[in-house]
């Protein structure tokens, strides 16, 4: 049974995973109404991903959620530890592409974290629900999708009543996972290998931190010949995941008896008296695939709907969050008429190469192993440098100065740039940084840098630029994909 009239929303988001939640939050902060639907009855109770990258933590920090996310985290060094068993005192560290605490302090105000997804997602959902312009509906499944030049019309089935509901949206964000119904309705194929590796897992609780002592890592690679596999900490309260590759003739963990499973975990942990409390057995296959395109007119793919990666390198959830943020700020700009609709073309142009890079890495059998420099370069991209600026208690990261519109960063000699702003574009805010930060940003003696909401530089100018107003206007026009130099409409105040 259909409802009589279609509900209209600026943006319909399909899927309440990391990409969908991030997109909805970002739109809400721009004052854009959205409807987020999820076919499941609630969020997943499984820990799934635990690696939260440096750039992801920077995005969460910009939402004001850094400390709340970390409250459910695990204090580890983000590398792997290769050892015979967990109890073995000897082992070898293996880099996973994440920086150490000392390394990250030089490049970011945040740091990579070990936080299970079943803690992160509720934090995001609670924050999203604090916005009155964000509507979240669980138990709602996308059934049909049709587009014209102005609208996307989606048919949604409500699980409880089985009622069919029609939704009209200006844009649709398809964030509905690896087996995306939206992607299937658009007939967008996936490219790349499927069924690379068959993997079995067991989720359990046991007092293993006492065994490990100060050997605290994000991943443990067990090389015992009778129990080769991995341990992943998925909770500070001794919740663990143990996994084995089963594509080489091994018996799946789910096929073991209770005694056999306990015996295996005792061997792998090196604790002969271990009494694990088994919570769940699982199985999944590795895939390294990417959508042939990220966009079909007014529907745009994000997260696992756009790219399926293996756990190698821990890029899946992080790439999804970065997708959701990038797409949503661009949607916010277009829907506020700060930019032409062509700005959305840059989403695929900028994000699909990242998806290709991470998909290729995840297909590499040695894809987990990366130096911190390589991992950071891929994670942070070409955003501006982090430098602390200001004095004493007022010190703030240059990244914290970046706003929802464009941000003009100048040194103390850049007054003429700031003076021109009111007549150029209402979406630009200006910030003054101290001399050390100015040097790090490439600002010298009265120059300026114009920065996008994702902290990527739009333009850098020297003090010799004769007409600041003309330079700024030209940069805004080009970045906003406009054919004429028209100042964007004045933005509404962003929420929290």
The Cα 388–Cα 156 span in angstroms is: 48
End residue of a domain, out of 333, 358, 380: 380
Backbone angles phi, psi at 481, to 5 degrees: 60, 35
- Does 351 share its domain with 415? no
Same domain, 100 and 231: yes
Q: Do 48 and 207 meet the contact criterion of CB atoms below 8 Å apart?
A: no
Evaluate whether 453 touches 329 at the Cβ level (below 8 Å).
yes
**Whole-number Å distance between alpha carbons of 183 and 301:** 7
Encoded tokens for 372: 């911190």
Kindly state whether residues 142 and 182 are assigned to the same domain. yes
The tally of domains found in the chain comes to: 3
Measured distance CA(145)–CA(155) in Å, rounded: 6
Q: Are residues 33 and 169 in the same domain?
A: yes
> Same domain, yes or no, for 81 and 69?
no
Q: Please check whether residue 339 lies inside any domain of the structure.
A: yes
Residues 190 and 81 placed together within one structural domain of the fold:
no
Helix (H) or strand (E) holding 279: strand 277-285
What whole-number distance in Å separates Cα of residue 299 and Cα of residue 173?
A: 6
On whether both 405 and 336 belong to a single domain, the answer is no
Composition of the chain by helix, strand, coil, percent to 5: 30, 25, 40
Report helix, strand or coil for 338: coil
- Based on the fold, state whether residues 92 and 216 are members of the same structural domain: yes
Domain boundary among 262, 285, 308: 285
Cα 342 from Cα 100, distance rounded (Å)? 40
Element (H, E) at 20: helix 18-29
- On whether residue 455 sits in a domain, the answer given is yes
Look at residue 185 and tell me if it is in a domain. Answer: yes
Range of the domain at 211: 75-110+197-285
293 and 184 belong to one structural domain: yes
Q: In CATH, what number is assigned to the domain containing residue 60?
A: 3.50.50.60
Any idea what the CATH number is for the domain that residue 99 is in?
3.30.9.10
Residue 167: partners with Cβ closer than 8 Å, 6 or more residues away: 6, 7, 8, 9, 12, 35, 153, 154, 155, 156
pLDDT at 254: 87
Whole-angstrom distance, CA of residue 439 vs CA of residue 385: 10
Domain membership of residue 493 (yes or no) is no
CATH code of the domain covering residue 423: 3.40.30.120
Per-residue pLDDT tens listing for the chain (496 residues):
455 568 999 999 999 999 999 999 999 999 999 999 999 999 999 999 999 999 999 999 999 999 999 999 999 999 999 999 999 999 999 999 999 999 999 999 999 999 999 999 999 999 999 999 999 999 999 999 999 999 999 999 999 999 999 999 999 999 999 999 999 999 999 999 988 888 899 999 999 999 999 999 999 999 999 999 999 999 989 999 999 988 666 778 888 999 999 999 999 999 999 999 999 999 888 899 999 999 999 999 999 999 999 999 999 999 999 999 999 999 999 999 999 999 999 999 999 999 999 999 999 989 899 999 999 999 999 999 999 998 667 789 999 999 999 999 999 999 999 888 876 666 889 999 999 999 999 999 999 999 999 999 999 999 988 889 899 999 999 999 876 544 444 444 454 4
Tell me, yes or no, whether 495 lies in a domain.
no
Q: Output the pTM of the full model.
A: 0.95
Residue 104 placed within a domain: yes
Is residue 296 in some structural domain?
yes
Is 326 inside a domain boundary? yes
Q: Where are the beta strands (DSSP E) in 16-163?
A: 34-38, 51-52, 77-83, 92-95, 113-114, 134-138, 140-147, 152-158
Residue 484: the pLDDT is 52
Are both 42 and 124 inside the same structural domain? Answer: yes
Alpha carbon distance 480, 337 (integer Å)? 9
What pLDDT does 486 receive? 42
How far is residue 474's CA from residue 486's CA, in Å, rounded to a whole number? 10
Is residue 13 helix, strand or coil?
strand
Domain finish residue from 323, 347, 380: 380
Rounded-to-integer distance, Cα 159 and Cα 146, Å: 21
Query: Over 349-400, what HEC string results?
Result: HHHHHHHHHHHHHHHCCCCCCECHHHHHHHHHCCCCCCCEECCHHHCEEHHH
Tell whether 421 and 475 lie within a shared domain: yes
Q: How far apart are CA 397 and CA 341, in angstroms?
A: 32
248 and 136, same structural domain? no
């Amino acid at each position: 049974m259909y409802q009589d009239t279609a509900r209209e929303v600026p943006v319909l988001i399909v899927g309440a995973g990391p990409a969908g939640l991030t997109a909805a939050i970002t739109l809400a902060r721009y004052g854009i109404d959205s409807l987020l639907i999820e076919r499941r009855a609630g969020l997943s109770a499984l820990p799934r991903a635990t690696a939260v990258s440096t750039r992801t933590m920077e995005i969460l920090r910009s939402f004001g959620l850094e400390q709340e996310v970390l409250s459910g985290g695990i204090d580890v060094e983000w590398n792997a530890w290769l050892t015979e068993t967990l109890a073995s005192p000897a082992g070898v560290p293996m880099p996973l592409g994440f920086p150490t605490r000392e390394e990250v302090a030089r490049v970011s105000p945040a740091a990579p974290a070990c936080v299970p997804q079943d803690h992160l997602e509720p934090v995001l959902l609670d924050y999203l629900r604090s916005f009155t312009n964000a509507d979240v509906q669980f138990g709602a499944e996308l059934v049909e999708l049709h587009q014209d030049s102005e609208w996307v019309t989606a048919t949604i089935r409500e699980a409880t009543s089985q009622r069919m509901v029609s939704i009209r949206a200006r844009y649709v964000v398809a964030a509905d996972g690896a087996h995306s119904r939206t992607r299937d309705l658009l007939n967008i194929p996936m490219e790349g290998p499927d069924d690379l590796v068959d993997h079995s897992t067991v989720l359990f609780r046991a007092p293993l931190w006492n065994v490990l002592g100060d050997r605290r890592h994000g991943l443990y690679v067990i090389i015992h010949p009778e129990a080769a596999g991995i341990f992943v900490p998925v909770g500070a309260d001794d919740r663990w995941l143990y996994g084995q590759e089963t594509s080489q003739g091994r018996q799946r963990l789910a096929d073991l008896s209770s005694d056999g499973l306990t015996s295996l975990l005792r061997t792998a942990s090196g604790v002969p008296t271990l009494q694990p409390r088994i919570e769940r057995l699982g199985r999944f296959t590795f895939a390294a695939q990417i959508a042939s395109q990220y966009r079909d007119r007014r529907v745009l793919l994000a997260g696992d709907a756009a790219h399926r990666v293996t756990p190698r390198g821990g890029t899946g959830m992080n790439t999804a969050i970065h997708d959701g943020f990038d797409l949503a700020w661009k949607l916010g700009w277009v829907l506020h008429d700060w930019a032409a609709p062509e700005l959305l073309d840059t989403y695929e142009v900028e994000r699909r190469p990242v998806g290709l890079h991470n998909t290729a890495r995840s297909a590499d059998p040695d894809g987990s192993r990366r130096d911190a420099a390589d991992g950071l370069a891929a994670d942070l991209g070409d955003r501006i440098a982090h430098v602390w600026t200001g004095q004493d208690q007022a010190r703030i990261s240059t990244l914290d100065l970046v706003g929802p519109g464009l941000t003009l960063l100048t040194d103390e000699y850049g007054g003429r740039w700031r003076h021109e702003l009111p007549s150029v574009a209402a979406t630009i805010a200006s910030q003054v940084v101290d001399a050390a930060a100015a040097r790090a940003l490439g600002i010298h003696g009265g120059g300026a840098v114009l920065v996008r909401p994702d902290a990527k530089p739009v333009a850098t100018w020297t003090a010799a630029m004769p007409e600041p107003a003309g330079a700024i206007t030209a940069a805004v026009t080009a970045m906003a994909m406009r054919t004429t130099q028209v100042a964007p409409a004045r933005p509404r105040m962003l929420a929290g």
